[in-house]
Amino acid sequence: MSLWLPLLIAVPVVGAVLVALLPKGSDTLAKWLTLAVTLVVLALTLVMAFQFKPGGDRFQFVFERDWIPAFGVKFGLGVDGIALVLIALSVVLTPIVVAASWHDADSPHAKYSVKTYFALILALEAMMIGVFAATDIFLFYVFFEAMLIPMYFMIGSYGGAQRSYAAIKFLLYSLFGGLLMLVAVIALYVVAGKNTFMFPQLVGAIQDPTTQKWLFAGFFIAFAIKAPLVPFHTWLPDAAAQAPAGAAVLLVGVLDKVGTFGMLRFCLELFPDASKFFTPLAIVLSVVGIIYGAIVAIGQTDMKRLIAYTSISHFGFIAMGVFAMSQVAQSGATLYMVNHGFATGMLFLAAGFLIARRGSPYIADYSGAQKVAPLLAGSFFIAGLAGLSLPGLSSFVSEFMVMIGTYSSAAFGSGALTVAAVIAATAVILAAVYILWMVQRVLHGPTAESVSGMTDLSGREKWVVAPLIALIIGFGFFPKPLLDIINPAVDHTLTNVKVDNPAVAEKGAGQ
Amino acid sequence: MQTPTDIIPHTGGVIGVAWLMIALPLLGAAVLLIGGRRTDRWGHLLGVAMSLGSFVVAVLALVELLGLGEEQRRRAIELYDFIPGMVKMGLLVDPLSVSFALLITGVGSLIHIYSIGYMAHDPARRRFFAYLNLFVAAMLLLVLADNYVGLFIGWEGVGLASYLLIGFWYFKPSAAVAAKKAFVVNRVGDFGLLVGMFVIWTTFGTLTFKDLDVTGASNGTLTAIGLLLLLGACGKSAQIPLQSWLLDAMEGPTPVSALIHAATMVTAGVYLVVRSGAFFFPVGSGASLAVAIVGAATLLAGAIIGCAKDDIKKGLAGSTMSQIGYMMLGAAFGPVGYAFAIGHLFTHGFFKADLFLGAGSVMHGMNDEVDMRKYGGLFPKMRITAITFIIGYLAIIGFPLLSGYFTKDGIIETAVHSDYPILGWLAVLGAGITGFYMSRMVFMTFFGKPRWAEGAHPHESPKVMTIPLIILSIGSIFLGGYLVVNQTLYHWLSPAVGAAAEAPHFDPFTTPGLVTLAVVAAGVLLAWFMYGRAEVPQTAPAGNALVTFARRDLYGDALNESLFMRPGQWLTRLAVFFDNRGVDGLVNGLAATIGGSSGRLRRLQTGFARTYALSILFGAALLTGALLLVGNL
Amino acid sequence: MTTEYLVLSGILFVIGALGVLIRRNAIVVFMCVELMLNACNLAFVTFARQWGNLDGQIIAFFVMVVAAAEVVVGLAIIVTIFRTRRSASVDDANLLKY
């Protein structure tokens, strides 16, 4: 029993309550308190992460308490390497988002008070940690759905002009997927007949191929909506474009990762045979998403929508890596989840800074911003380069691993996945087009009248982009610390997918 | 014929710290970019110092390498574990990479120095030096990396630096567009290189040069890898079919054109082909023939474009394409041609940098005018520039005993004596065209009557600009002879790239050699009649179809536009429409259907209590009826 | 005997139902509802007599209690509506529509 994970969840929850209870008018205090809490969580997570033993048990810092004994539901927490890096991603992004959204909730159009916004961020942080740490599938489901609530309010109450439409669409779409998953979760519980929702005990519990397929479909559709994969993606551009920049970062950077994380953790390991059956479909959806997302991104006129579509392309890469069934590709996909959080997060934030200054999300309203705001332009450009996976930046390593892992995967007879990898590789050309064309229209060219008064990054904003740039470049050249944590976890996953014998599978799950 | 010698792990010495070559300019770039305006005053000096520092390390590494036996001159330095289980980052210091490092840092340093003067009045000079340093670091990583991933990082790094420097004057829309175009076209090539790496990794299980052993691989696989790498090389080296970006890239400041788009970066494709010789040469079939054809086609295309340009930089850019075509052609024939290809790469690095910097010096004195029709009679006004330019000119057309003569002649001889002599004769033709367009450039610029624009006061450039010119022109005179006559370069490189069955020796008095001289002389004479003796009009006369063809860059842009850009735009618009109306329309349509039907169902709530009572009655009757029916069954 | 009682009960019920459907005056509608309830009561009592047990009679008492409660609440509502709207027509009170 380790109290690390409950502590990590409790600290932001307590912080959220405190911030919410602050008296009216103490907005500044609320902001600083939120920042302090998120930094404490970050520090705690780092301390915990250094105690993680990559070669040790699969799930570490395990915590289990009975929750609903009648159904065998437990409050079960624990992290493997994959969950750990994603929790780290969440807690790194949160303080950055807090600092970046310092004035986002001050807008007179906001429906609720400033402190509510920051309390929501803290509540969301707790749920993000919880969803990655949950080892009980029911608990995972609860966090999976509960995450929607703070995000719904962040979009619907603090967002742009069409925020209600976007928030409702986001909520209903996600709920729809979530309900399918709930059905599958209950069916899994009943069919397995073990009176438990604990993931390690359920690995290998379902043997019948037909049952596996149905349950897989329930989970997969929920995750495909969450991730999102084409054709379930249209809620994302609306939500991301209407959300305040900080919320968009958390939405695309972390919340959507739950989808791909779920595919890797739950779909593959619980239903290995069904996974193999559905892999061709998943690969096709991924490859279509990669190319389609990129092409649609090229045609966007709104910066935030453009970034959202690039993410759809990137999620295609992640899903392709997950289903390529090779160690390199799955490690790459996991690394991609982290790097995408940094890269796209920074792109959203930099775009948010531009939009906050100029007051328009439309690319056509900008020209020559580099002249007046060189640092802001530089940050936007670096984030863009990370978005197009420039070698030397972190996203390249993961994209390269996903593609080369897919190409060389022997999962379906040698060479079956090569076509997918080669088609996906054309996205490097499209990525250059969508990023650089946006950069050209926004930053380059003669400085437009409306842009000429733009101020450069403030001190606070420099603190927002500096750590992200450091992480993007640092992991671009030294991805080893992350990969050393991820690789053993991916090995467990692959063992569970390939081996049908339940006894071996349970051993593989580290129990 | 021999394969390259084995690569030996190495620690200690200067070679052990070869990473300093990359680290120094990288540090320079970081300091200048992060330091911001605080470094404005001394930024350019730091940039030069870092580049010179790299040069010193490269020279010391060369000395140390020369101290080793010929069989032991390929040293690998391990740096760190990059992607666990796939790639360890390391450097490969061997004759090939050290030669490149010397060229990059040597010519690079000269161009750094020249830029102090050239960019003196630009408010963003510090940023310029930061980018130049970034470029040097990336280019050194490209040539020094001991694996394809490291090479690729450098490969894209130079692409980034090139993008930043072409778009250095980003406020000019043309520069911004040219920069983007260069990057995107390069990415097409990168796609080839990327997929090539996939195949290499899948087939051989390694991406490190040291562990790569192609014996046993099928011919088809090797050819496929070769063609994919060739696509990458075409992108970076502006070879057909990915040539179109180079002419636009002249939007960048002239020192950039000299360093990146003439002397170093664009030759990376040749480096890739030579470094990956294992995939090209032993096959002797598909891939290397493709390299030869690409080289021959580009050397003619570039030369033809060079003839039609009035913009001095674009003329030189066409010439660069053409000269790289020669290098590709030479590199296509394996170890016999490698020494000449690499030799031409080095001499070209010197004389083309010389020519570009000379052009820059002319522009500097002529208010940044690039149109040669507005030049003329500049010789007496800027003697040093003119003389160094003319030396570069003589070197490039292959005037006997100057640098270009030896290396270009070597390539032509190799090609003529290969299995495809026709390619060699095309190269001879190309040499003739080179003689024509380069002479045209010299006559239009330095001789004839002045056709200057009003307000032009041509003057010689400051010493900081002319001294690099002088050094480069000295290299343009002697380097070729030194490298080729005693087969110095061949023996130096053969441990790294493999040796030929018979060492290629230089013999100027063969048929192809003499024919080349005659053809070049004809080209020069023709240029003299058309541009030296005759009056040059200030505006370009309308030409015939062939001239238009050449002026429009052989319709390369038009082809790209109609084949890729327009269909691409169309596809994009279609996809956006489909996404908004189709996919999202379906989602919203579903929502609307549900909303609509509930709206219709709502109408049943009329508010009349008696209506409800009636429906209750009917319901009750229905229920009773059903019960009776079931009871009777 | 039973048949006659049941026929009477049926007739009363139909009269009540038609009154609810046709009449507009809330008081009359209300009285018709009572009539329907009493028709049911008659049927219950008849069956209780027929089978000789008390179940039907007990149910009848329940119905009466419910009817009494209904009268209390219902009349109060009708009076209030009449006071505010000056009308006891059930068709006029149609605010609870779409």
Contact (CB<8Å) C91/B610:
yes
CB C44 within 8 A of CB C12: no
- Supply the pLDDT for residue A130: 95
The answer to whether position B280 is within a domain reads yes
Question: Which residues in chain C have Cβ-Cβ distances shorter than 8 Å to B602?
Answer: 98
Structurally, chain B folds into a number of domains equal to 3
Name the nearest CA neighbour of A382 among A393, A372, A369.
A393
Q: How confident is the model at residue A360 (pLDDT cuts 50, 70, 90)?
A: confident
pLDDT of residue A85: 94
Per DSSP, the three-state class of A77 is: strand
Question: Are residues B174 and B298 in contact, defined by beta-carbon separation less than 8 angstroms?
Answer: no
Please report residues of B whose CB lies closer than 8 A to that of C93.
Answer: 609
Tell which A residues from 312 to 341 touch B, by Cβ distance under 8 Å.
327-328
Which residue is closest to A234 within chain B, CA to CA?
B584
pLDDT digits (tens, 9 = 90+) for A243-290: 999 999 999 999 999 999 999 999 998 998 898 889 889 999 999 999
B82 touches chain A (CB under 8 A): yes
In a domain, B469, yes or no: yes
Q: Is residue B91 part of a domain?
A: no
Q: Do A444 and B152 touch (CB under 8 A)?
A: no
Contacts of A421 in chain B (CB under 8 A): 195, 198
For chains C and B, having 3+ Cβ pairs within 8 Å is answered: yes
C96 touches chain B (CB under 8 A): yes
| Structural domain boundaries, residue B201 | 148-544
Residues in a beta bridge with B434: none
> Would you list which residues of chain B are within 8 Å, Cβ to Cβ, of chain C?
602-603, 605-610, 613-614, 617
CB contact under 8 A, C97 and B610: no
Contact C20 B602 (CB under 8 A): no
Query: Residue A409 phi/psi, 5° resolution?
Result: -65, 135
A67 three-state secondary structure:
strand
pLDDT recorded at residue B584? 87
B13 token code pair: 């010495």
Q: Measured between CA atoms, how close is B37 to chain A, in angstroms? A: 11
pTM of the model: 0.89
Nearest CA in chain B to C13: B617
Does one domain contain both B333 and B356?
Answer: yes
Q: Identify the pLDDT of residue B550.
A: 76
Q: Residues in chain B with pLDDT < 50? A: 1
Residue B478 sits in the same domain as residue B616: no
Cα–Cα nearest to B584, from A237, A292, A281? A237
Asked if A305 reaches chain B (Cβ–Cβ under 8 Å), the answer is no
Distances (CA, A) of B201 to B148, B209, B406: 10, 11, 39
B244 vs A316, more confident: A316
A76 and chain B in contact, CB less than 8 A: no
A123 vs A116: CA distance, rounded Å: 10
In this structure, the answer to whether residues B186 and B301 fall within a common structural domain is yes
Confirm or reject contact between A2 and chain B (CB < 8 A): no
Same domain, B492 and B585: no
Per-residue pLDDT at A290: 94
Residues of A in contact with B170 (CB under 8 A): 368, 370, 443-445
pLDDT range class, residue A499, cuts 50, 70, 90? very low
Q: Do both B576 and B615 map to the same domain?
A: no
Torsion of CA B388, B390, B395, B396, to 10 degrees: 120
Predicted pLDDT of residue C10: 94
CB contact under 8 A, A483 and B84: yes
Give the β-pairing of A73-79 and B8-9.
Answer: unpaired
Cα distance from A19 to chain B (closest Cα, Å)? 37
Q: How many contacts, defined by CB atoms under 8 Å, are there between A and B? A: 139
Query: How many Å apart are CA A400 and CA A169, to the nearest integer?
Result: 34
C73 to chain B, any CB pair closer than 8 A? The answer is no
Backbone conformation region of residue A192, classed left if phi is above 0, alpha if psi is from -120 to 50, else beta: alpha
Peptide bond into A228 cis (omega under 30): yes
Average pLDDT over residues A321-335: 91
Chains that touch B (3 or more CB pairs under 8 A): A, C
> Is residue B297 one of the residues assigned to a domain?
yes
Interface residue of A312, A397, A404 to substitute, partner B, most B CBs within 10 Å: A404
A382 and B CB contact within 8 Å: no
**Three-class SS state of B78:** strand
pLDDT score, position A411: 67
Q: Three-state SS string across A108-119, please?
A: CCCCCCHHHHHH
Where does residue A105 fall: left (phi above 0), alpha (psi -120 to 50 degrees), or beta otherwise?
alpha
Domain C2-85 sits in CATH 1.10.287.3510: yes
What are the pLDDT digits (tens) for C11-67? 999 999 999 999 888 899 999 999 999 999 999 999 999 988 899 999 999 999 999
What phi and psi, each to the nearest 5 degrees, are found at residue A474? -60, -50
Residues B246 and B227 in one domain: yes
Residue B91 backbone zone (phi > 0: left; psi -120 to 50: alpha; other: beta): beta
How would residue A510 be classed by pLDDT, with cut points 50, 70 and 90?
A: very low
Model confidence at A511, pLDDT cuts 50, 70, 90, reads: very low
Which residues in chain C have their CB less than 8 angstroms from residue B598's CB? none
Nearest Cα of chain B lies from the Cα of A489 at a distance, in angstroms, of 14
Which one, of A89, A129, A104, lies nearest residue A27 by Cα?
A104
Touching status, chains A and C (3+ beta-carbon pairs under 8 Å): no
* Pair B339, B466 in one domain: yes
Pairing of strands B87-93, B75-83: antiparallel
Domain parsing of chain C, residue ranges: 2-85
Phi, psi (5° rounding) for residue B267?
A: -90, 0
CB contact, 8 Å: C15 with chain B?
A: no
Question: Is residue B70 included in any domain, yes or no?
Answer: no
Chains in contact with C via at least 3 Cβ–Cβ pairs below 8 Å: B
A408 and B83: CB-CB below 8 Å?
no
Query: What was the pLDDT predicted at B282?
Result: 61
CA–CA distance, B410 with B327 (Å, rounded to integer):
11
Show residues of chain C in contact with B613, CB under 8 Å: 20-21
Question: Token digits for A438?
Answer: 């946006």
Q: Extract the runs of DSSP E, i.e. beta strands, from B59-148.
A: 75-83, 87-93
- The token pair at A363 is 């690319």
**A444: nearest CB among B33, B170, B195:** B170
Min distance C22 CA to chain B CA atoms (Å):
8
The whole-chain average pLDDT of chain A stands at 89
**pLDDT at site A509:** 38
- Asked whether residue B37 is assigned to any structural domain, the reply reads no
For the stretch A334-344, pLDDT in tens is 999 999 999 99
Mean pLDDT of A368-389: 91
Question: Measured between CA atoms, how close is C24 to chain B, in angstroms?
Answer: 8
Residue with tokens 């830029």: B115
Closest to A296 (Cβ–Cβ): which among B36, B575, B587? B575
DSSP calls for B425-448: HHHHHHHHHHHHHHHHHHHHHHSS
pLDDT cut 90: percent of chain A above it:
67
Q: How confident is the model at residue A103 (pLDDT cuts 50, 70, 90)?
A: confident
From chain C, pick out residues whose CB is under 8 angstroms from the CB of B605. 96-98
Question: Would you say A145 and A153 are in contact if contact means Cβ atoms under 8 Å apart?
Answer: no
Chains that touch A (3 or more CB pairs under 8 A): B
C-alpha distance across the termini of chain C, in Å? 49
Among all residues of chain A, which has the CA nearest to that of B578?
Answer: A296
How far apart CA B266 and CA B263 sit, in angstroms, is 7
